Amino acid sequence: MSDATIRPEALPVGSIGRKASGWWGMLTILMTEGALFAYLLFSYYYFAVQYGRGFLPDELPKFRLSLPDTIILLISSVFVWWGERGAKRGANLQLVFGLLGTLILGVVFVGVQLLEWRDKPFTIGSSSYASLYFTITGFHMAHVIAGLIMLSAVMVWSLLRYFDAERNSPVSIAAVYWHFVDIVWLIVFFTIYVTPRLW
């Protein structure tokens, strides 16, 4: 047994970047949440295969609101990435502004989604398509809101100066969740808005 294993020279103590258990815990959450959306989309494609075009509503979902909304969400991911980079340099102000930008864009995204919901001619009980449309986008919106709550907490903590260049795990944890929510949206967007036009 080498002595270095029994006694290393020096070890970081406490919550340091991606060595924190919370980071690993978040990765497990992403695994299971990713699976959740896979099953949601499985249900969508299953119906699509079973019923063909008859599954879709008469009026296909439009890009007028959804495309700008997608771009808004993508930009928000850039903001959180920029803020996290700041955190790792110990630049607290950059972190705060990065988070603020993400929060604003995230709230706008949710607002636009709600507009889109309001404009739908059907309700959740109209057809299997309507049920799935609201369930999938609803699940995604719930995840966006969860991300907004996480980022708000991280912002409060950064305003309280809880973080420096080494102690900043919550920033990375919330950021990776936000990126995940973004990627999921791209897949949801492709499924609901793009695929009906490919048939």
Partner 1 sequence: MTVGTYDRVPALETGGHAAPAASQLTRLWESKPGISGWLSTVDHKELGKRYLATAFIFLALGGIEALMMRLQLAQPNQHLLTPEQYNQLFSMHGITMIFLYAQPILSGFSVYLFPLILGTRDMAFPRMNAFSYWVYLAAGLFMYASFLVGAAPNDGWFNYVPFALKPYNPGPNMDFYALGMILLGISTTAGAANFLVTMLRTRAAGMSINRLPILTWGTTTTSVGILFSMPAVSLAFFMLWLDRQFGTHFFDSTARGQPLLWQHLFWMFAHPWVYIIVLPAMGIVSDALPIFCRRPLVGYTVVVLATIATMVMGFGVWLHHMFATGLPFLALSFFSGASFVITIPSAVAVFAWIATIWTGRPVITTAFLFFAGFISMFVIGGVSGVMTASVPADRQLTDTYFVVAHIHYVLIGINLFPVMGGLYVWFPKMTGRMLNERLGRWNFWMVFIGFNLAFLPMHWTGLAGMPRRIYTYPDGMGWGTVNMVTTVGSFVLALGVLLLLINVAISRRHGAVAGPNPWDGPTLEWTTPSPPPPYNFATMPAVASRHPLWEDRLEEGMGKSSLQRGMVLANGKEMLAVTPLDGLPDAILKMPEDSYSPLVATILMTAGFTGLLLHWWWFAGACVFLLLACLVVWLWPERTLGQIAGARHV
Residue 187: closest CA among 195, 177, 197, 178: 195
Q: What is the DSSP secondary structure assignment for residue 163, as one 8-state letter?
A: -
> Which of 73, 99, 132, 151 contacts partner 1 by CB under 8 A?
132
* Binding residues for partner 1, total number by CB under 8 A: 58
Cα–Cα distance, 124 to 53 (Å, whole number): 19
CB of 36 or CB of 194, closer to partner 1: 36
Cα–Cα distance, 26 to 96 (Å, whole number): 22
On whether the CB atoms of residues 147 and 181 are closer than 8 A, the answer is yes
When asked if residue 8 is in the footprint of partner 1 (CB under 8 A), the reply is yes
Q: Which of residues 159-178 bind partner 1 (CB under 8 A)?
A: 161-164, 166-170
Q: What angle, rounded to 10 degrees, do the helices at 63-89 and 169-189 form?
A: 160
> Which of 11, 53, 58, 197 contacts partner 1 by CB under 8 A?
11
Residue 23 beta carbon to partner 1: minimum distance, rounded to whole angstroms: 9
When asked if residue 9 is in the footprint of partner 1 (CB under 8 A), the reply is yes
On whether the CB atoms of residues 192 and 40 are closer than 8 A, the answer is no
Q: Which residues bind partner 1 (CB under 8 A)?
A: 1-2, 5-16, 19, 21, 24-25, 28-29, 31-33, 35-36, 38-40, 42-43, 46-47, 50-51, 54-55, 124-132, 135, 149, 153, 157, 161-164, 166-170
